[in-house]
Amino acid sequence: MRRASSSGSGTRFRLFPRPPYAHPGRPPEVVAISVPPDLIGPGPSDDRLYVIDPVRKSHPYGIVRGPYGTPHLSLPPWRGPIRRPVQAGPDGHFDRIPVEAPEFAQVHVYGSIRFVLDVWERYFGGPIDWHFARDFDRLEVVMLPDFDNAHVGYGFMEVGAHHNPDGSAAPFAVNFDVIAHELGHLIIYGTLGVPSRETERGEYFGFQESAADTTAMVAALHFDFLVEQLLEDTRGNLYTYNELDRFAELSATEQIRLASNSVTLSQFAAGWEDEHALSQPLTGAVFDILVDIFQENLVERGLIGRDVADLTEQVKKRPEYAATIQTVFDAAYPGQREGFRASLIEARDYLGVALAETWRRLSPDFFDYEEVATLLLAVDRALSGGRYREEMIESFVWREIGRVKVGPRLSPPAKSSHAFSARTLVPEIGRRLPQMSYRERVLIARGM
């Protein structure tokens, strides 16, 4: 499989695999995305998406109140003024824009979206359609630095910042993980769609968050330097706390979620409140499966013994093994970097293809994690005769997927919940809202 970062015919960008405010001093990586320079316009923009930096956009898309208080559905396109769209360099590439320049943010967002789309369209074996294609040709990507979030919805992605209590901000525009996570939601909408009120189950919302995190994790493993650093830091022992683990870092010490969590489904048997928490058992299972596949590849290459691989699978139940395991990896890794790297890339691509095939077969209706597990096992059987069946079953069983039923939603969605946010609103809902007066509509049209 062609590696995203070694394409010669595409357009060059510089991306931070990890946000610079969490890893100061680490330079961005030069990558090439598949769209050739002559097909990228100012913004940047192309036939699938365009980035804008609006002037005075006072609220994110979704349901907002008009000047006289009437709720209405605000959707793209943005019709107000925008700041000058970013142009490519004279050679048609975008890798010369200084990191400190204000326009670097737009370029980083565009490059990140395209980089992730390249990765996942290869795994899907073709284009991933936008779920809003009926109404909009292209995704509108909006820079909205005052917005305390990043979200996607019907025809848009809006990119804000994490605002720290001391007044400083961590812009999500340079947080690859956050952009990739949001694009992950769009991939799932485009692939599965959304359930109706009658057919929706809580696990659908947990799955959305889990799949979005997985989208980001697998995409990040396409940065050569990140892979190298990850293996150097851990000596190939990916069960330790590591860089791949941390989602949506906000600073050097704070991140939103961990992939190698030890959350199991029984914690939600009585019910659930937040889909990000509910996503953890599934994300954890997928992360463990990635590491297990990697270790199987290491065993096959003769880089670690079978006994070591078996021992690492026990470490969740027997944390006292951790030190012994690290000693083994510390001895096995030196001089074998290339074998470790190749084993990880193979595991990444096997999992990527297997997940794409699994997601393609899922239905959004009456969703539960057990169905994800059943389909992933079937896909593994189809791809390789069930090469990783045992590891997959072990991971799902340990997470109690297929054993424990998730209880009901215990409280109305919190503000941070995406489940009923702008993302799932479609134009039909707009038509059911009260009519606005002509005058109020004029005021909105003028951007007041």
* Chain residues that interact with Zn ion, rule: CB under 5 A: 209, 212
User: Min. distance of Cβ 191 from Zn ion in angstroms?
Assistant: 16
Considering the complex, state which of residue 97 and residue 212 has its C-beta at the smaller distance from Zn ion: 212
User: Min. distance of Cβ 275 from Zn ion in angstroms?
Assistant: 8
User: Min. distance of Cβ 204 from Zn ion in angstroms?
Assistant: 13
Q: Collapsing DSSP states into helix, strand and coil, what is residue 49?
A: strand
User: Min. distance of Cβ 417 from Zn ion in angstroms?
Assistant: 9
Helix H segments across 235-336? Answer: 275-300, 306-314, 322-332
How far CA 288 is from CA of 10, 148, 301, 347, in Å, comes to 34, 32, 20, 12
User: Min. distance of Cβ 69 from Zn ion in angstroms?
Assistant: 30
Considering the complex, state which of residue 209 and residue 243 has its C-beta at the smaller distance from Zn ion: 209
Using the Cα atoms of residue 257, residue 155, residue 424 and residue 197 in order, give the sign of their dihedral: negative
Considering the complex, state which of residue 260 and residue 424 has its C-beta at the smaller distance from Zn ion: 424
DSSP category for residue 221: T
CB contact at 8 A, 264 and 280 = no
Placement of tokens 């996607």 in the chain:
152
User: Across-strand partners of 11?
Assistant: 33
Instruction: Find the largest Cα–Cα distance for the chain.
Output: 74
Structure tokens at 276: 């990000």
Q: Collapsing DSSP states into helix, strand and coil, what is residue 11?
A: strand
User: Min. distance of Cβ 414 from Zn ion in angstroms?
Assistant: 13
Give dist(CA 424, CA 376) in Å, integer: 26
Considering the complex, state which of residue 118 and residue 209 has its C-beta at the smaller distance from Zn ion: 209
Considering the complex, state which of residue 40 and residue 263 has its C-beta at the smaller distance from Zn ion: 263
Considering the complex, state which of residue 45 and residue 421 has its C-beta at the smaller distance from Zn ion: 421
User: Across-strand partners of 161?
Assistant: 171
Considering the complex, state which of residue 212 and residue 263 has its C-beta at the smaller distance from Zn ion: 212
Helix H segments across 58-200? Answer: 104-124, 176-191
Placement of tokens 């030069």 in the chain:
30
User: Min. distance of Cβ 148 from Zn ion in angstroms?
Assistant: 14
User: Min. distance of Cβ 185 from Zn ion in angstroms?
Assistant: 6
User: Across-strand partners of 15?
Assistant: 29
- Other CB atoms within a 10 A radius of the CB of residue 381 amount to 12
User: Min. distance of Cβ 279 from Zn ion in angstroms?
Assistant: 8
Considering the complex, state which of residue 178 and residue 304 has its C-beta at the smaller distance from Zn ion: 178
Give dist(CA 230, CA 238) in Å, integer: 8
Considering the complex, state which of residue 86 and residue 116 has its C-beta at the smaller distance from Zn ion: 116
User: Across-strand partners of 43?
Assistant: 86
Identity (one letter) of the amino acid at 316?
K
How far CA 12 is from CA of 84, 160, 363, in Å, comes to 21, 25, 37
Query: Helices then strands (H, E): number in the chain?
Result: 12, 12
Considering the complex, state which of residue 40 and residue 422 has its C-beta at the smaller distance from Zn ion: 422
User: Any long-range contacts for 19-23 (C-beta under 8 Å, 24+ apart)?
Assistant: 19/170, 19/174, 19/175, 19/176, 19/177, 19/249, 20/99, 20/174, 21/170, 21/174, 21/250, 21/251, 22/249, 22/250, 22/251, 22/252, 22/255, 23/252
User: Min. distance of Cβ 369 from Zn ion in angstroms?
Assistant: 17
